[in-house]
Amino acid sequence: MIRVAVLGAKGRMGSASVAAIDAADDLEAVAQVDIADSLDAITAVGAEVALDFTQPDAALANVRWCVEHGIHVVVGTSGFDEAKLQEVRDLLGGSPTVGVLVVPNFSIGAVLLMQFAATAAPYFESVEIVEMHHPDKVDAPSGTAVRTAELIAKARDAARAAPIPDATTTDPDGARGAKVAGVPVHAIRARGYVASQEVVFGGVGETLTLRHDSHDRESFMPGVLTALRAVSSRPGLTVGLESVLPVSG
Ligand SMILES: NC(=O)c1ccc[n+]([C@@H]2O[C@H](COP(=O)([O-])OP(=O)(O)OC[C@H]3O[C@@H](n4cnc5c(N)ncnc54)[C@H](O)[C@@H]3O)[C@@H](O)[C@H]2O)c1
């Protein structure tokens, strides 16, 4: 039985995770921690692995606490850009014994979309990302969009692709979106969405649109459970569900 502490346990993802963990034969949610609770509850009940679904401004401190207390951590919270990932590497040090697995998206469809996007990236002049989420989400762009943009940029750089063409010279209100790794990202926040993403590629006379929709938070749970089972056998920092799934990364 893997003893799991869920951080952000009262939130949307945290409460869905507690239910999924308790329904699994080999996992047990032994601690449910939310904003008013002390992290000491994690060690008090002997949890081996923590799952963080809190807020971007809280998650890094939680990871630090867990690493310092020898607890493996799966991080689902958004906002782990390269600077934060480097802080995690620094925390873990040269010969880590603790595993930290940062997963921008736990759904298999979203992970595959990111891989398909990286495959397509060198073949198209233009690329933009549109991500759509529920209006209660506090951060933009989504962690998935950031990761997708980074993977696209890496594939374009490797192929020595020319810069994305764009004649815009006037955009006082930011209508062309945020630039993440040079890729325009547009964020929609509307009731009815859980998490969706489109990647639009443009070439001469054609466009290719890749789209993924999570209709329900259930879509994340198989990935959450896979990550919780894998993290203790991967000391150091690992990024992306593809690292622990049998799909090529
Ligand atoms: N990786 C993925 O696949 C994935 C999927 C969906 C959402 N997310 C991300 O997960 C995070 C949580 O999303 P949500 O929709 O569940 O949010 P939510 O607002 O419903 O829940 C967050 C919970 O964390 C608690 N919290 C805040 N600070 C805390 C702290 N310091 N310690 C303990 N608890 C704290 C809040 O009280 C709240 O109950 C967001 O960053 C979101 O973008 C990731």
58 within ligand 1 shell (Cβ under 6 A): yes
Residue type, 211: R
Q: What is the pLDDT of residue 248?
A: 52
- How far is the centre of ligand 1, averaged over its atoms, from the C-alpha of 61 (Å)? 14
Tens-digit pLDDT profile for residues 184-205: 999 999 999 999 999 999 999 9
42 within ligand 1 shell (Cβ under 6 A): no
Q: Average pLDDT over the chain, rounded to whole?
A: 96
Q: What is the pLDDT of residue 81?
A: 87
Side-chain half-sphere of 130: how many Cα atoms within 13 Å?
13
d(CA 102, CA 25): 24
Tens-digit pLDDT profile for residues 123-176: 999 999 999 999 999 999 999 999 999 999 999 999 999 999 999 999 999 999
Tens-digit pLDDT profile for residues 31-61: 999 999 999 999 999 999 999 999 999 999 9
Say yes or no to pLDDT of 249 above 70: no
d(CA 196, CA 129): 11
* pTM (predicted TM-score): 0.90
- 134 Cα nearest atom in ligand 1: 15
Helix or strand or coil: residue 31?
strand
Q: What is the pLDDT of residue 82?
A: 87
d(CA 201, CA 215): 24
Catalytically annotated residues: 133, 137
Mention every residue, 6+ apart, whose C-beta is less than 8 A from residue 157.
none
User: Could you tell me where the DSSP H helices lie in 45-184?
Assistant: 56-68, 82-92, 108-120, 143-158
219 within ligand 1 shell (Cβ under 6 A): no
Q: Which uninterrupted H or E stretch holds 42?
A: helix 40-44
| Percentage of the chain modeled with pLDDT above 70 | 99
Asked if 158 and 122 touch (Cβ cutoff 8 Å), the reply is yes
56 within ligand 1 shell (Cβ under 6 A): yes
Q: How many other C-beta atoms can be found within 10 angstroms of the C-beta atom of residue 76?
A: 27
